Amino acid sequence: MEKQFVVLLNQHRGIVFKICKMYCHDAEDRRDLFQEIVFQLWRAFPTFRQESNVSTWIYRIGMNTAISNFRKETRRQSPIAFSKMEFHIPDLFEEDDGSPETALLYQAIEQLGIVEKAIVLLYLDDKSYEEMASILGISKSNVGVKLSRIKSKLENLVKSLTL
């Protein structure tokens, strides 16, 4: 079971890294959140029935973990080790395209609320409205409304940051 989990995590680690980058500003906090998300995925793995897409399952658990950690704003103890088996998961936190446009977009996104950030992350990851609704637990039409409002808000934020 551990090997299956590691393979699954390595195949979809980009999702976890994106969530961490969206909700944490400093590298140490991102690493802590990454560990917490992996821990929550590990806890939920035995009950994953594969009725939904794996990426949808990872997004749902990852975002719920990130949002609840964000709300609590307290440091957690280091997660308990899964076993003596080492996880070999490459670090994607150091990857950055370095473009000023991307930096400006992330600066604007940082000013959004926690649910708005979740919607932006899913949108940037090319998720359909149906997938977004499933991950976030809201209706498909609500996703469209929220996304439209967020786009306008981001446009205004980017304009204010460039002035």
Structural domain boundaries in the chain: 1-95, 96-163
pLDDT at 22: 86
Please tell me the class of the 1-95 domain.
mainly alpha
**What pLDDT shows up at residue 47?**
87
Q: How far apart are CA 68 and CA 80, in angstroms?
A: 19
pTM: 0.58
Q: Which pair of tokens denotes residue 114?
A: 């926690």
Cβ–Cβ < 8 Å for 104, 161? yes
Given a contact cutoff of 8 angstroms between Cβ atoms, the answer to whether 20 and 93 are in contact is yes
Average pLDDT for consecutive 10-residue bins of the chain (163 residues)?
Answer: 87 90 86 93 88 87 87 55 55 61 85 89 90 90 94 92 82
Measured between alpha carbons, how far is 27 from 35 in angstroms, rounded to an integer? 12
Give the pLDDT of residue 86.
56
CA triple 79-23-137, angle to 5 deg: 90
Query: Is there a common fold for 1-95 and 96-163?
Result: no
Q: Considering the domain 96-163 in this protein, what is its CATH number? A: 1.10.10.10
CB 61 within 8 A of CB 14: no
Output b/e per residue, 25-61; b: 16+ Cβ within 10 A.
Answer: eeeeebebbbebbbbbbbeebeeeeeeeeebbbbbbb
pLDDT at 90: 56
- Residue 144 is predicted with a pLDDT of 93
Whether 107 contacts 161, CB under 8 Å? yes
What is the pLDDT at residue 94?
Answer: 53
Task: Check residue 15 and give its pLDDT.
Answer: 92
Write down the H helix ranges in the chain. Answer: 2-11, 13-23, 27-44, 54-72, 100-109, 114-124, 129-136, 140-162
In contact, 30 and 20? CB cutoff 8 Å: yes
Q: Please give the Cα distance from 153 to 138 (Å, whole number).
A: 20
